[in-house]
Structure 1
Amino acid sequence: MKHLKKIHIILLVLLIAFITFLVTDTLKIAFDTDHLKYNVKLDVESNRDTENDSYVKNYQNYIASNPATYPKDKTILVSAKDFTHIEGNYEIINNFNGVAESVLTHEVGSISLPVDIEEAGFYTIRVNYYAYEGKSSAIERRVFINGVVPFDAAENVLFQRYYGNAAVIYQDYAGNDIRPSQVEKPIWTSKLIGDPLGYITEPFNFYLNSGTNVIKFESLREPLLIDSIVIESVKTLPTYEDVKAQYEANNYEVAKEELQFVQAEDAVRTTSPTLYPLNDRTSSRTMPSDPTLIKLNTIGGTNWDKAGDQITWTFEVPKTGLYEISMRVKQRLANGMVVFRDIYIDGEIPFAEMEGYAFKFSNDWRVQTLGTNEESFLFYLEEGTHELTMEVSLGIYGQLISDLQDVIDNLNKIYREILIYTGPSPDPFRDYELANRIPNLISRFKSELEQAKYIRETLIEVSGNRSEKTGILDTVILQLQDFIKRPRSIQNSLSTYVSNISSLGTLVILLSSQPLEIDYFVLHEPGAKMPQSTPSFFESTWFGFRSFLATFTTDFSAVGRVDTGEVNETIEVWLSIGQDQANILRKLIDETFAPENQIQVDLKLVSGASLLPATLSGRGPDVAIGQADSTPVNYAMRNAVYDLTQFDDFDEIAQRFMPSALVPYEFDGSYYALPEQQIFLMMFYRTDIFEELGLTPPNTWREVVEMIPSLQKHNLEFYLPVPLTQGAAIILPPNPIFSTMFYQNDGQFYIDGDRQAGFNEGNGPKVFEQWSSFYTNYSFPVEANFNNRFRSGQMPIGISYYNTYNVLSVFAPEIRGKWNFVAVPGTEYVDEHGQTQIRRETVSTGTGGIILNQSNKKEESWEFLKWWTSTETQMRFGRELEGILGAAARYPTANIEAMEQLPWTVDELTKLKEQWAWVRGIPEVPGGYMTGRHLDNAFRLVLNEAANPRETIYDYVQMINEELAKKRREFGLD
């Protein structure tokens, strides 16, 4: 009995505790009406005093170098048609969307506009423009004032494009919302020229002399239609107190109206195709929400985190008066940070407090009223339609990131100076006397240490606590303190030092990311009762339980399927790419392929290793896309892949691609795949380091050899890729550098009707010896992480596949603008006219789409492959992929016309096309899987055992030939 009594008491206590929790939770939510408590005001100034001409410092020096004159109340309008000089193609367009005369400037050229200034001083420049149709990337221009780019940040200014939903949000067959495609919705708009990186938060101030000045815009990317430019006096935003006093002076009254909701997912336009409606299922209070269906009910999140990205909404004001603005937001992705937004009403920031408005970190959704901790802001709005725009701003982080960039640049420079004496692998037992050899080494470390401490303290002050971001700085601070304390041991920690500098580069990315998710806005009178932002415990539990039950009844593989009209046939397509890519392809199929061809596609995302066993068992798909270069011919030799030349229009379709892209898919006069991607080699180099050392990128392999002493004098390295076997993969591709040099010397991979390897013929042995010498004579690294060493500057030059551009663009922000790429080094020869020419052949890798022989729907499958590799589909797929995942996902399409429509700059595209024309494909033959492996074996023997290169390649060619002969006999080809 006593035992039962004790259990009853425990249960009663638990019940009371649970009831208390429920009551407390309910009361807390019900009485949580303080929507100002999340507001925060921050103001941080840089303490950086450096002689370095860094990005922000360069602009500050420009301001300081001119008289501090700011003329008042000046507005000068200059029509684009009044240009004094123009270069490149251009058009004067009349009556375009309501503008009488405008000038269209293309991707190459410039336009110069005269400006007559009465009073010299600083002015801002506003451009009235229209984002004319191009490649759907931001428009870039270089700004000259009187023939000179005034400061570094003016080297590249951006003009945004505008996007919106292609259609209203619609539903699939089960009632789930389908994300609408984002399409361009260009409008005439105006932009104050400012910093595209967001480090400088104010619009650029340009100093103009009295008299006639010439402002020139040089094209870097995309066409731009210009109506006019406006030269304006530099304006200082009024404070809210000033605006409030004006309200009182004008006798503005508070509007007494019902709550006016604006659903955030119903944005009228954005400046990025990534800013599409999202589905939030974390809260039943999100409007609208459903525990079982996908509802697009928010916008922003991680997609809305880049400086300059804007979202604009329209809303109706029922009555003229003063209103408060509240919004339901979630900021939990930038852990331990505040994020910033510039807030515009009808295109203007109403007062200074709306510039760099802060949203601090919180784990859950909240309703936040715009204002301070003590007072909400009132906005005067007249009856009718208005626009609310929010733009990502770096706020105080802009200056911190600039200071951090300074630290990274200086620490990297010190590292390169240390390398001169220690090399990349220093002797731990040797005293290199670095403190005596390197000028001011310890004092420079102290300077960077103080700056790192300041940034760390500021981040803690802003966020109120430590985080993984301050942890990165803690590690750097500890190491710098150790270096200062024990300078003789610096060389022992160089690898950690480089890793820490890379971590600081990661910190730049983290601080630059400013995500914010929004559910809705509310326009209301002061003191109005706001909707409950968080659900109660019961509400949340019930919502979660229903969501859990839905997982047993919902066919998630069918989510997204819509009615595409009449369907005559259904084919099965397998792909082994990411989920985002699959979703884009699914949407493109439903929008264009299925309704136009009356063929539905059963799209399946499968492992790449699944195709072989499925094909052998007779359960494979009709079409498989994303197949490696080696797959089509290897399957075809086993009668598993269909010969595409059997289709009458194959030759016509093949014109979409470079001939080199089709080479790996050809065997015995038949072709077994259509190319999807083709990635070839380019040479990347650090422009800042080359300028520092007085070097130029080598044009030939001879110049590569001549440049090596200049690099190695500073213990810097040149990167040439050596592919390694990945996991259990059997096929090792032929080394791309050897293949490049071999093709440049008239080499043929296979001779005698593909019966023998051609490495022993002609200049083959000489090329193999020359290639091996880079590693044996000049100590090139065989294995290296090129991306990391390129970031640090240890490898200021290297050859890599051109999609390295994607990685460096996104994950190495600290070297933005400090690197470039050019064609690979070539081999000189004398032509029939006695002129010295350069051959630049190189090789590529890629993927293709195949039709399985077991398919009984080959005509329908061919229609799909033609559609998938078409210019329009490849272009849309590439643009949407980059729109969702950013520049890191720049799509390396094999379609020539589609490649030209992707958002490369003119300069980048020109270099890529010049190299692409030289690309040669490596044929696939029976037994060819041993070619790359034995080539690598020969190389390793020369490298590790100092074997004679010419004799070694001869021996291994015999082994390759034996395998080729064996496979030909196996397949009955001889």
Structure 2
Amino acid sequence: MAEGDGIEKLDNYEGMSGTSLKTGEQGRVDWKVNVPEAGFYNISVQYYPIKGKSSSIERSLLIDGVLPFEEADYLQFDRIWDNELDQVKRDNRGNDLRPQQFERPEWRELLLKDSNGYYADPFRFYLTAGTHTLSFVSQREPMVVRQLRLYQDKHPALYEETVKRYEQEGLKKTDGQLITVQAENARAKSSPTLYPQTERASAAVKPYSPELIRVNTIGGYNWRMPGQWIEWEIDAPEAGLYKIALKAKQQFVRGIYSTRRLYVNGEVPFREAEQIPFRYKSGYRIDVMGGDEPYLFELKKGKNIIRLEDTLGEFAPLIREVKDSLFNLNEMYRKIIMITGASPDKFRDYRVDEQVPNLLKTFKSEEERLTAVSKELKRLSGGSSDSEALLKTMALQLGELIDNPDTIPRRLAAYKSNTGGLGTWLQKALEMPLQIDEIYVASPNKKLPSDGDGFFTRLSHEITTFAYSFFIDYNQIGNASDEKNPRSITVWIGSGRDQANTLKAMIDETFTPETGINVNLKLVQMNTLLPATLAGQGPDVAMQISNDIPVNYAMRKAAADLSQFPDYREVANWFRPSALVPFTYQKGVYALPETQTFNMLFYRKDVLKELGLDVPQTWDDMYKLLAVLNKNRMQLGMPITTPATSVPIPGQNIPPNSIFATMLMQNGGQFYRNEGKESDLDSRIGVETFKTWTDLYSDYKLEREFDFANRFRTGEMPIGIVDYTTYNQLSVFAPEIRGMWGFVPIPGTKQPDGTIRRDTPSNGSGTLMLSGAKDKDAAWQFMKWWTGEDAQTKYGREMEALMGASARYPTANVKALDSLPWPVADYDSLKEEFEWVRGIPEVPGGYFTGRHLQNAFLKVVVGADTEAREAILDYAQYIQDEIRAKRKEFGLPE
């Protein structure tokens, strides 16, 4: 049985005979299975990763309509990635360009296992004899399924037994063979983040250049998460037994070592190959599998596939123990603050050990657990380390709290700090990076090359690179302008080098060949834009600038009016009207939107369920929820300042508070009236909204400054209205609460007709054309290309490929946002709120609005000696005066 979109039967699909089933991004597929005998079964799936949004495929597995265990809700199926070209491309300065990754799908069989890596072995499912229904529920991305197989997977034999099998089968050691494979020439990998990399800090790598950028290694910090794998093809000249060695660097994690599982032609050859350790050491070294007595691996003549997969190995059960411990300690913290509050009175006896059931018992069991884990960690890593020290500190504190329970309230801040540290430890412990330069497959008697990382090599490298630093322009990204082509523009970007390199690669691949326009991309600090423009040294186009800059430049005739271009209207339709509002001035438009962010309501499912609360739909619901949270000493998160999405620039204005703006817009208010000539904050709606907003902090004692992600993680702030990009942070930052939280549209204001109005303001960044641009048509073509669907989608996917899910790009292009790999249910919530997003206009003197709104707020909430009405009317007058003064300065009608 199948239900949902995109489900269809396919015959003889992609060379696989018989019938396959295509499953879409949404929906459910059921299979009836007749189990002959009760017992534990492994389940494998033969699948084909068809084209989607370039992220891993996710499914949930139900057995007879029920989730068998929590981890079965997040089954991950990898896509298969490869370099787009066999040869590395170079720019016109001779530097290697990062190879672009493209999908090379093929049929694969996957044993269902834990996508987080907490369990090293595949999942085992208990099934009774008889008929059962297995269901796959789509969470993200489409795929084709050929078959499900239920069987008992056998553990590989020990190496000792494998050697006996070699002898029985008459396998001989090869003689005199040495095959060297450059690791960057990998055949396939599980993620586009595993692209070949550039190593410039060592002369040991090949190919090496002290002057030019060379693609010469693979892995590194990008190859750190459990389950990620890389495959290489080895062409063996003869069948027989070989040893395998890697020239690798593991100077990323101390205390614990990086572990890899080795597959040869799709199978783990023996049990020891399940957990191959790479211990900490600076620089590159030759790691022979098996050490002084190398393991022997059977290779057939011709092509062989070697795969290394990131695994937690022996650390998996320890990390699992710490995860469970952290969950229990956070639960106890929540129960303690329900009695004491987040800032307990030092002189009061709360008797928390009597009031919180099983508090000391839990502390005792967690103390014993963490002590045992730290001892085992020390044994495995062969010495003390900072990893082990944190666990010992937490265990020590728990011991002291058990001995002196009356000190618990006084030590609550330290307890919270240590549990926060434990959460960070958990996140870091999952990361096991490894960087590889070369792979050697050799006969047992063949001597391996040296690691090439001696003292004199390093000294020579340092001297040479220092000398070259006087001649190389490191600000120039990619190709320099071609002298033969007169059309050229200069573009400034103010983010990071990774972003600049990605953008330049895209320009050199598509924009310049299609248009013939050269782009000189410069990585600069954006606070130099104003002085450079005044000096006549500015760029033609500035990217990733905050919302307030375009109109401020437009007032001074420094920005070009984009609405003058004949196809502007067509381009404007790529974005929601709200994204263009901050860039509009005097009927002109002075920038194109790049990113657009807005608030969503984040909530902890488990905590709200514990408190018997529903997700609030309106502000009235929110007040009722606040009463319950206050009673339980928990908090609602609503930040006072909105973080800028682009790089902060000195003098940059403070945007108006997003919560105040939400309330104002939902009540039909506005920031400016009379076409931006006056502030509207002194209107009846403005004053009433300001009082409602400040009352939340005065009467309900909401906190003004907090680290939402950390407090959300512990559960002391189980609900909050924050920027939607927090989703990316939580996905990576708090793995222990995966599946326990969600995000939905913000609370709204009920209208007389019963509908709920959920207006919210947007923030973001844009691309600006300077009025001094010599070739405005070329600059406009670049801006259209960059903010268009194709470039924005590709850049968003590349950023996620480069940095992982935490770097998901909040593009303002509506169609490009549709193409980014959001889980379907979450993206539906995002789209629902997007319909209500509104822009805040920028006006002359408008920089006073956010600043004085905050001043008025602080005077009421912190000063506590001023009425809300009085404060907002006073500061609205300052805003009015500044708007009037600026309009006079620029010769505008007042």
TM-score tier (shorter): over 0.9
What is the DSSP-based 3-state SS (H/G/I as helix, E as strand, rest coil) of the residue aligned with 2:536? coil
Q: Is the 8 A contact 1:205 1:234 kept in 2?
A: no
Aligned residue for 1:773? 695
Alignment of 1:207-356 (within 5 A): 207-356=126-275
Tell me, yes or no, if structure 1 residue 761 matches structure 2 residue 689. Answer: no
Is 2:480–2:520's contact at 8 Å kept on the other side of the alignment?
no
Q: 11, 24, 28: which one pairs with 1:94?
A: 11
The corresponding residue for 1:68 is: none
Matched residue, 1:194: 113
Q: Which residue of 2 aligns with 1:672?
A: 590
The residue number in structure 1 matching 2:748 is 826
> TM-score, structure 1 length as denominator?
0.89
Closer, same or farther in 2 for the Cα pair 1:766/1:205, shift >3 Å? same
In 2, Cα distance between the equivalents of 1:157 and 1:366?
36
User: Contact 1:564–1:590 (CA<8 Å) still a contact in 2?
Assistant: no
Match for residue 758 of structure 2? 840
Query: Root-mean-square deviation (CA), in Å?
Result: 1.8
Query: Which of residues 371, 378, 386 in structure 2 aligns to 1:453?
Result: 371
**Which string of whole-angstrom CA distances, capped at 9 and with x for unpartnered residues, describes residues 565-614 of structure 1?**
97341101112111111111111111111111110111111112111111
1:916 corresponds to: 834
Contact 2:479 2:520 in 1 (8 A): no
Greater Cα shift, 519-528 or 663-672: 519-528
User: Is the alpha carbon distance of 1:354 and 1:669 closer, same or farther for their aligned partners in structure 2, counting shifts above 3 Å?
Assistant: same
- 1:346 shift after superposition: 1.0
Which deviations, in whole Å up to 9, do the C-alpha atoms of 1:473-505 show, x marking residues without a partner? Answer: 232233222212222122122112111111101
Indicate the larger mover: 761-770 or 350-359: 761-770
Whether 1:962 aligns to 2:884 is no
1:651, CA displacement in angstroms? 0.4
Once the two structures are TM-superposed, the CA of residue 559 in structure 1 deviates from its matched residue by 5.8
Change (3 A) 1:446 1:729: farther
C-alpha distance in 2, partners of 1:700/1:189? 48
Contact persistence 2:477–2:504 (CA under 8 A): no
Q: Tell me the SS of whatever aligns to 2:66.
A: coil
Among the aligned pairs, what percent are the same residue?
43
Residues 121-162 of structure 1: per-residue CA shift (max 9 Å, x gap) = 221111111111111111000001121111111011000011
Opposite residue 765 of structure 2, the aligned amino acid is T
Q: For residues 482 and 67 of structure 2, what CA distance do their matches in structure 1 show?
A: 54
The answer as to whether partners of 1:326 and 1:523 remain within 8 angstroms in 2 is yes
Following TM superposition, by how much is the alpha carbon of 1:109 offset from its aligned partner in structure 2, in angstroms? 0.3
What secondary structure sits across from 2:316 in the alignment? helix
Q: What amino acid is the match of 1:158?
A: Q
Q: Is the 8 A contact 2:2 2:27 kept in 1?
A: no
Q: Does 1:464 align with 2:382?
A: yes
Encode CA deviations 1:829-876: one digit per residue, 9 max, x unaligned: 122xxxx11000001101111111111211111001000100110111
Q: 1:562 to 1:935 in 2, by over 3 A?
A: closer
Tell me if the contact between 2:476 and 2:520 (Cα under 8 Å) persists in the aligned partners: no
Trace 1:491-510 onto structure 2 (pairs within 5 A): 491-510=409-428
Quote the Cα distance in structure 2 between the aligned partners of 1:449 and 1:519: 43
Report the Cα offset of residue 315 of structure 1.
Answer: 0.9
Q: Conserved in 2, the CA contact under 8 Å of 1:172 and 1:559?
A: no
1:142 aligns with 2:64: no
Query: Is 1:792 aligned with 2:714?
Result: yes
Q: Secondary structure at the match of 2:194?
A: coil
CA shift digits 1:203-244 (9 cap, x unpaired): 111222323222111000001111222222232222222222
Partner of 2:727: 805
CA contact (8 A) 1:328 1:519 kept: yes
SS at match of 1:552: coil
Please say which of residues 877-886 and 439-448 is displaced more in the overlay: 439-448
Work out whether residues 208 and 214 of structure 2, in 8 Å CA contact, stay in contact via their aligned partners in 1. Answer: yes
The answer to whether residue 448 in structure 2 is matched with residue 530 in structure 1 is: yes
Q: Residue 14 of structure 1 aligns with which residue?
A: none
* Offset, 1:781: 1.0
Q: Which moved more, 1:467-476 or 1:182-191?
A: 467-476
SS at 1:633 equivalent: helix
Note the alpha carbon deviations across 1:729-777, whole angstroms, 9 max, x for none.
3622111111101100111221122222223435332222211111111
**Within the alignment, does 1:953 sit opposite 2:872 as a pair?**
yes
| Cα pair 1:259 1:523 within 8 Å, conserved | yes
CA pair 381-612 structure 1, distance change in 2 beyond 3 A: same
- Within the candidate set 793, 815, 827, 1:897 is matched to 815
Q: Equivalents in 2 of 1:639, 1:449: separation in Å?
A: 66
Aligned counterpart for 2:502 among listed residues 568, 575, 584: 584
Which residue is 1:711 aligned to? 629
Say whether 1:659 aligns with 2:577. Answer: yes
- 1:165–1:276 Cα contact (<8 Å) kept: yes
Task: State the Cα distance separating 1:299 from its structure 2 match.
Answer: 1.0
Q: Which amino acid aligns with 1:595?
A: P
**3-state SS of the aligned residue for 2:470?**
helix
Question: For each residue in 1:398-418, what CA deviation from the matched residue of structure 2 results, as whole angstroms up to 9, or x when unmatched?
Answer: 111111011111111111111
After TM superposition, give the deviation of residue 506 of structure 1 in Å. 0.9
Q: Contact 2:284–2:453 at 8 Å: present in 1 too?
A: no
Deviation of the 1:558 alpha carbon: 4.1
> What amino acid does structure 2 have at the position aligned with 1:361?
Y
Which TM-score applies when normalising by structure 2?
A: 0.96
1:604 paired with 2:522, answer: yes
Residue of 664, 667, 688 corresponding to 1:745: 667
Aligned to 2:277: 358
The one-letter amino acid of 2:194's match is L
Deviation at 1:727, TM superposition (A): 9.2
Select the structure of larger CA radius of gyration.
Answer: 1
Alpha-carbon distance in 2 for matches of 1:600, 1:344: 46
Following the alignment from structure 1 to structure 2, what is the Cα–Cα distance between the partners of residues 909 and 463? 42
Q: Which has the larger displacement, 151-160 or 681-690?
A: 681-690
1:727–1:590 Cα change, 3 Å: closer
Letter in 1 for 2:533: T
CA distance in 2: counterparts of 1:681 and 1:564, whole angstroms: 44
AA aligned to 1:929 is: Y
2:324 pairs with 1:402? no
Alpha-carbon contact 1:928-1:964 (below 8 Å) kept: yes
Tell me the amino acid that sits aligned with residue 738 of structure 1.
Answer: F
CA pair 315-730 structure 1, distance change in 2 beyond 3 A? closer
Q: Which amino acid aligns with 1:266?
A: N
